[in-house]
Structure 1
Amino acid sequence: MKLSVQEQAANWYKDELELEKDSSLRFFVRYGGVGGLKPGFSLGIRPEEPVEPVAEDTVKDVQFYIEQEDAWYFDHHDVTVYYNEDKQEPDFEYKDTTS
């Protein structure tokens, strides 16, 4: 599993969450929501220091990461966080790595 955060998405998170240099932002699995990889679940975000990251990307001096306890959600998928111009916010793209 790989995590990639595009620069425009990173800028949005920095601005909206007022993240400072050397901050960390966790993507975590939550019950509910729409548009997730697995029905009934979606991704949430939380400024938090990593404990056991399994995937990470540092962009604009912010570490974006996924913890080991949430790896099951991605089950053979890479995730790219990009800025969706239509929605004016970040969105997620999942790529199956089994093929």
Structure 2
Amino acid sequence: MKITISPVAQQWYQENIDLKPGDGLHFYGKVYGKTNVHQGYSIAFAKQKPQQPYYEVVYQQISYYFNDEDVWFFTGYDLQIDYDAKVDSPTYTFVDETSK
């Protein structure tokens, strides 16, 4: 269970969510939608400083994380976040941890 974020996706978050060093971005699963591995759930995020994250990765002094209550959504998968210039938005791909 890890999160990797491409530099261009990091830049998108910084510019569009107004993330600055010391800020955090909380990822979690929400009802409705889908991902490449979830039916009925999609990924959401909120600008929040982490309190006690279950998992956290820091890029350019910005925390990207999920909490204990989000573990169910990420268990067994790594989340790869990239950027799609055609739609000017991040892309989210879950990769099975065992496929490495």
Contact 1:7 1:60 in 2 (8 A): no
Aligned equivalents of 1:48, 1:29: Cα separation in 2? 15
Identity among equivalent pairs (%): 25
Question: Partner amino acid for 1:78?
Answer: D
- Counting matched residue pairs gives 99
Question: Partner amino acid for 2:2?
Answer: K
Tell me the equivalent position of 1:65. Answer: 65
Deviates more, 1:31-40 or 1:2-11: 31-40
Normalised TM-score (structure 1): 0.88
CA displacement at 1:50 relative to structure 2: 1.7
Contact 1:36 1:43 in 2 (8 A): no
Q: What is the root-mean-square deviation of aligned Cα atoms in Å?
A: 1.5
Q: Tell me, which stretches of 5 or more residues in structure 1 are unaligned? A: none
Tell me the equivalent position of 1:90. Answer: 90
- Runs of at least 4 residues off by over 4 Å: none
Contact 2:50 2:63 in 1 (8 A): no
Cα gap change, 1:86 to 1:44, in 2 (>3 Å): same
CA displacement at 1:14 relative to structure 2: 0.8
CA displacement at 1:38 relative to structure 2: 1.1
CA displacement at 1:85 relative to structure 2: 2.4
